[in-house]
């Protein structure tokens, strides 16, 4: 049985722990707030004790976590990225490759809402790694749990799709905050999927995985969730109140900068969300459905 560790004891870290508990796999936790979570261990102890390490931290923290882990990581440690965002080093996949280049890794992504998992509802995910053996090993530790896993071999694409999903969910949240209705949501999400595919092609990544649990599945699940931080942030934008930070909000400026200026207008939903975040009228989101 693989020894597992989870860095981050927020809602999603707890959800992963819940799934592992269903398979009788014991996971140890590390969290920066040890006073709040006295049952956690320090980073070195976790890395020394675990074969597979889940990075259950937001994209704006993963650089700090991996930088701190560098001196303790063993080549045998398999890292599993969970955050669906972009920072100044890129996606979670990019961060792991740049900061832990000697380690095998996988990206775990899909419709797996923390609230559902903790309430013992079924979820599904894509486990993507450049190594088929690593992908199968990570997927295998969830056998017997309520998480159904499929494997793929393109972690960069899966990581980027997860980040894009959160940005487009902001638009869903704005629409919900404006009470545009379910029919508008259906049309909006149809256009969002098409735009995500075009955007991936523009930045040089394969677009076919948008039609998977990591893409459409996660986009739909998150867009109807009341617990999603990105939905809440979108609603706040619609109501002209200051939103709490979310993966979508944090990632938006980085993905926008990836696009050549002469291409930004080719992605009307992305451009509209970017403009609303910068203070323009949130009613503009209604116009992306024509």
Q: Which token pair is 204?
A: 């040089």
Residue 123 and residue 184 in one domain: no
Residue 255 and residue 178 in one domain: yes
Residue 199 and residue 249 in one domain: yes
Give the integer Cα–Cα distance in Å for 38 and 48. Answer: 19
Residue 169 and residue 141 in one domain: no
Residue 148 and residue 213 in one domain: no
pLDDT tier for residue 217 given thresholds of 50, 70 and 90: very high
- pLDDT, tens only, 9-26: 999 999 999 999 999 888
Work out the number of other CB atoms within 10 angstroms of the CB of residue 228.
25
Give the integer Cα–Cα distance in Å for 121 and 138. Answer: 20
- pLDDT, tens only, 25-78: 889 999 888 778 778 899 999 999 999 999 999 999 999 999 999 999 999 999
- Give the pLDDT score at 127: 97
Q: What is the mean pLDDT of residues 116-135?
A: 95
- Give the pLDDT score at 258: 87
Q: Which token pair is 106?
A: 């996988």
In percent, the amount of the chain with pLDDT more than 90 equals 88
Residue 73 and residue 187 in one domain: no
- Give the pLDDT score at 1: 58
**Among 80, 56, 55, 84, CA closest to 221:** 84
Residue 121 and residue 73 in one domain: yes
On the 0-12 / 13-18 / 19+ scale of CB atoms within 10 A, 240 is exposed
Domain end (from 100, 129, 153): 153
Domain limits at 239? 157-288
- Give the pLDDT score at 261: 77
- What CATH number does residue 220 fall under? 1.10.1040.10
The contacts of residue 35 (CB under 8 Å, 6+ apart) are none
**Residue 129, pLDDT above cutoff 80:** yes
- What CATH number does residue 121 fall under? 3.40.50.720
Residue 143 and residue 183 in one domain: no
**Among 47, 51, 4, CA closest to 24:** 4
Contact (CB, 8 A) for 186 and 161: no
The contacts of residue 225 (CB under 8 Å, 6+ apart) are 113, 115, 231
Question: What is the 8-class DSSP label of residue 197?
Answer: H
Q: What is the mean pLDDT of residues 166-190?
A: 97
Contact (CB, 8 A) for 40 and 34: yes
Question: How many helices (H) and strands (E) would you count in the chain?
Answer: 13, 9
Give the integer Cα–Cα distance in Å for 105 and 94. Answer: 11
Give the integer Cα–Cα distance in Å for 241 and 244. Answer: 10
Residue 79 and residue 126 in one domain: yes
Residue 148 and residue 30 in one domain: yes
Give the integer Cα–Cα distance in Å for 146 and 26. Answer: 16
Q: How many domains does the chain have?
A: 2
Q: How much is the pTM? A: 0.94
In percent, the amount of the chain with pLDDT more than 70 equals 99
Domain end (from 132, 153, 174): 153
Domain end (from 130, 153, 176): 153
Residue 121 and residue 179 in one domain: no
Query: What region, left, alpha or beta, does residue 133 occupy, with left being phi > 0 and alpha being psi -120 to 50 degrees?
Result: alpha
The contacts of residue 43 (CB under 8 Å, 6+ apart) are 7, 30, 68, 69, 72
Edge to edge, the sheet with strand 27-30 lists 27-30, 4-7, 52-55, 78-81, 105-109, 123-128, 147-152
Residue 145 and residue 20 in one domain: yes
């Amino acid at each position: 049985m693989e020894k597992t560790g989870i860095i981050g004891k927020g809602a999603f870290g707890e959800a992963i722990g819940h799934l592992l508990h269903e398979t009788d796999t014991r996971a140890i936790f590390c969290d920066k707030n040890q006073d709040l979570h006295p049952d956690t261990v320090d980073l070195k102890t976790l890395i020394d004790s675990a074969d597979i390490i889940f990075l259950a931290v937001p994209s704006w923290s993963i650089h700090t976590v991996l930088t701190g882990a560098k001196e303790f990581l063993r080549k045998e440690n398999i890292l599993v990225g969970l955050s669906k965002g972009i920072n100044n080093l890129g996606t979670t996949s990019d961060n792991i490759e740049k900061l832990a280049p000697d380690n095998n890794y996988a990206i775990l992504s899909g419709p797996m809402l923390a609230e559902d998992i903790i309430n013992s509802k079924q979820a599904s995910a894509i486990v993507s790694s450049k190594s088929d053996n690593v992908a199968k090993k990570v997927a295998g530790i969830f056998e017997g749990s309520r998480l159904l896993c499929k494997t793929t071999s393109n972690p960069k694409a899966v990581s980027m799709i997860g980040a894009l999903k959160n940005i487009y969910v902001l638009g869903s949240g704005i629409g919900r905050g404006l009470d545009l209705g379910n029919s508008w949501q259906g049309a909006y999400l149809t256009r969002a999927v098409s735009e995500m595919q075009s955007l991936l092609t523009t930045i040089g990544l394969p677009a076919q995985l948008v039609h998977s649990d990591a893409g459409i599945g996660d986009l739909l699940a998150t867009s109807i969730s009341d617990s999603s931080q990105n939905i809440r942030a979108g609603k706040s934008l619609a109501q002209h109140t200051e939103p709490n930070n979310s993966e979508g909000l944090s990632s938006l400026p980085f993905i926008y900068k990836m696009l050549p200026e002469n291409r930004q207008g080719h992605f009307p939903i992305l451009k509209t969300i970017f403009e609303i975040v910068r203070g323009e009228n949130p009613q503009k989101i209604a116009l992306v459905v024509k």
